[in-house]
Structure 1
Amino acid sequence: MSTFNAGQFLALDRIRKPGGGLTLGIELPLDNDWSPEREEQRVAEGRPFGVPDLAHYPELVRQVDRSGFAAVWMRDVPVFDPNNFGDAGSVYDPFVNLGFLAGITKNVALGTAAVVLPLRHPMMVAKAAASVDRLSGGRLILGVASGDRPVEYPLLGLDFESRGEAFQSAVAYLRDAWKNDGLPIGDGRIEPNLELLPKPLQPQIPMVIAGQGRQSPDWIAANMQGRFVYPNGLERLSLQAREWTTARKSLGLPRGAFISAFHLDLADDPGEQPTPRRFGARTGRKAFFEHLSALEEAGVDHLALLLRPSRRPLDEVIDELARDVIPAFKAQSPATNAAAE
């Protein structure tokens, strides 16, 4: 078994470059049901809007894993709410899905964006996360959140308004449970004769917050190893990245990772100019590469691509990104990035 230096967050090293720069990941589900053609097919099949077609999911994940992408990300949507949200997310339970992905991938970091901590007992989250970390060879990035869907809380007999306090308590519990000095049993007490197995393979499983978790910026900087923010304009993302970096530096902590997302419809024509859409754009490869370079300059470490709007077959899109974007991007420094030809 490998030996690790204490304090390392090894999975984060899969999504960030040592000298700075941008890496790319894929956000699940791997379907393209938000394209006009696939929307027509969904209606013909009688599938509700927001429920993805997962028929080709395993083979596409394997393609992503061998194609140079840095991570695969999944959401946590316990209940499909077609009236208020209309999006089933990644469908599968995140920890069952992570176990499956640990078995069919070798290279990508496995990330959640994000597990809604107050909906689960933290002891079970700690055990499930440590199990995934072991089974995947230390590739787990645990994205966490307090949740933004009020309907989920009363279904479990939980109070939606106190989710911020529950979130903070859960984070503390996870850190304690992953140590080797007993198990938390409430009120700050540790039972030394109890131990949660397995322990994570990483010395520390990195936690990344999606949104704010109803926490202060200072608390986030002190307790999280990364931020996953909603897609935003370059100016807003640059400001958020600077705030994150400054807050971590003021605490004497390493920068961690600053992450965002993009809804991509990659056009056949590499020269097609962007047509903006919510959270992303339809664009050709050259303009998309320029956008990635601008994100890198803004301080974004990692970008998770959602391909659901894609009009092209997803295996073609993944192949083009792997062949013409990722290698060219890796070959450039932040100061010399040029559009991919």
Structure 2
Amino acid sequence: MTAYTPSALDKVRIPGQITLGIELPLDNDWSPSGEARRLADGRPAGVPDLTRHAELVRKVDGQGFAAVWMRDVPVFDSARMGDAGSVYEVFSHLGFLAGITRNVALGTAAVVLPIRHPMMIAKAAASVDALSGGRLILGVASGDRPIEYPLLGLDFETRGERFREAVAYMRTAWMPGGLPIGGGAREPSLDLLPRPVRGAIPLVVAGQAQQSDDWISANMDGRFVYPGTLERLTAQAGAWKVAKGEGGAFISAFHLDLAEDPGEPLQPFRFGGRAGRNAFIDHLEQLREVGVDHLAVLLRRSRRPVDEVLDELAGDVLPQLGSLPIRAAA
């Protein structure tokens, strides 16, 4: 029997438990103090403070978090979206993070497949995976920003079909036997190097990507769903577990404003909430019970300094996650 080789997905998926990751950028620009600092810096609304970016990513890497996550925002649309993401081009950013981290999974949530040629995505992703020692989780999506498509001369309405084509191409390109050249044929004299460390890179779909649930369960290794109510996450996680069993990862996100008082109850707001660490741990336990494997935490609304919150999460929350009772397998 061939021994199982852990993948990057195993950093965020521990059977019966829940793991915690951090979503970039590592600033608190959406807090009152962050907004005042942005105005003083003269930065446009939606453009994050990246002055301590590398320092804080190294901190996360050394504190026991399971992953860092970034979004793919090629164009800053200040008029309609008002969000520049993490500013940097996604694969350049991943390569930089591969060089300054050693432990965390590097996740994208998510690379927009239809606006790039799949050969170049496959090459870039395999390069990041090799440089990071097999730590890439490639979150993929069809894109929800229509402005990007006409800028590139692409049709927005057919993005679902191109998404499927890109997934099929990448899966084939990462395998030995030559480069896909169309029509199901491969050219043995052409190869796409480097290869992923474990032969393939875990693919996680963000949102629905214009695909059916059956196609997603058959072709994806994980699901990354938008923050939602506990009832909605229960239904989504339950459907995923039925379709995929224990082999796939179910991931969501949470915008956290961690209160200084550990006993402060959870006060929900859109996409997250304000809570003391005790209530946040209780919330994580609820998510674990309904089948959430991993939660990516965004700290942009934090009223406290980001590094202070990271220290409390690492010192007082992460140790609790490992001591929660193991959830029975579905």
User: Does the pair score TM above 0.5?
Assistant: yes
Given the alignment, which residue of 217, 228, 234 partners 2:230?
234
| Correspondences of 1:324-335 after superposition (within 5 Å) | 324-334=316-326
Q: Would you say how many aligned residue pairs link Structure 1 and Structure 2?
A: 327
Given the alignment, which residue of 292, 298, 307 partners 1:300?
292
Residue identity in the other structure for 2:194? P
**Aligned partners of 1:320, 1:202: CA distance in 2, in Å?**
34
**Aligned partners of 2:3, 2:219: CA distance in 1, in Å?**
20
Given the alignment, which residue of 71, 93, 99 partners 2:95?
99
What's the TM-score, normalizing by structure 1?
0.93
1:41 aligns with 2:37: yes
CA contact (8 A) 2:17 2:321 kept: no
Given the alignment, which residue of 279, 289, 296 partners 1:287?
279
Shift of residue 188 of structure 1?
A: 2.0
Structure 1 stretches of at least 4 aligned residues deviating more than 4 Å after TM superposition: none
Identical-pair percentage: 68
1:29 aligns with 2:21: no
**Aligned partners of 1:196, 1:64: CA distance in 2, in Å?**
32
**1:280-314 Cα shifts (integer Å, max 9, x gaps):** 01111111110000000010000000000011111
Given the alignment, which residue of 7, 17, 28 partners 1:10?
7
CA contact (8 A) 2:48 2:84 kept: yes
SS in 2 for 1:304: strand
**Aligned partners of 2:274, 2:254: CA distance in 1, in Å?**
11
Partner in structure 2 of residue 275 of structure 1: 267
1:176 aligns with 2:168: no
**Aligned partners of 1:76, 1:156: CA distance in 2, in Å?**
16
**1:229-281 Cα shifts (integer Å, max 9, x gaps):** 001111110110110111124xxxx5310000000010111111222211001
**1:70-107 Cα shifts (integer Å, max 9, x gaps):** 00000000000011111111111111111111111111
| Correspondences of 1:35-184 after superposition (within 5 Å) | 35-184=31-180
What's the TM-score, normalizing by structure 2?
0.96
- Of residues 272-281 and 53-62 in structure 1, the stretch that sits farther from structure 2 once superposed is 272-281
SS in 2 for 1:61: helix
**1:18-40 Cα shifts (integer Å, max 9, x gaps):** x3210000000001100011112
**Aligned partners of 1:171, 1:119: CA distance in 2, in Å?**
13
**1:129-152 Cα shifts (integer Å, max 9, x gaps):** 000110000000000000000000
Segments of 5+ residues of structure 1 without an aligned counterpart are: 337-341
Alignment RMSD (CA, Å): 1.4
| Correspondences of 1:225-264 after superposition (within 5 Å) | 225-249=221-245, 254-264=246-256
CA contact (8 A) 2:175 2:200 kept: no
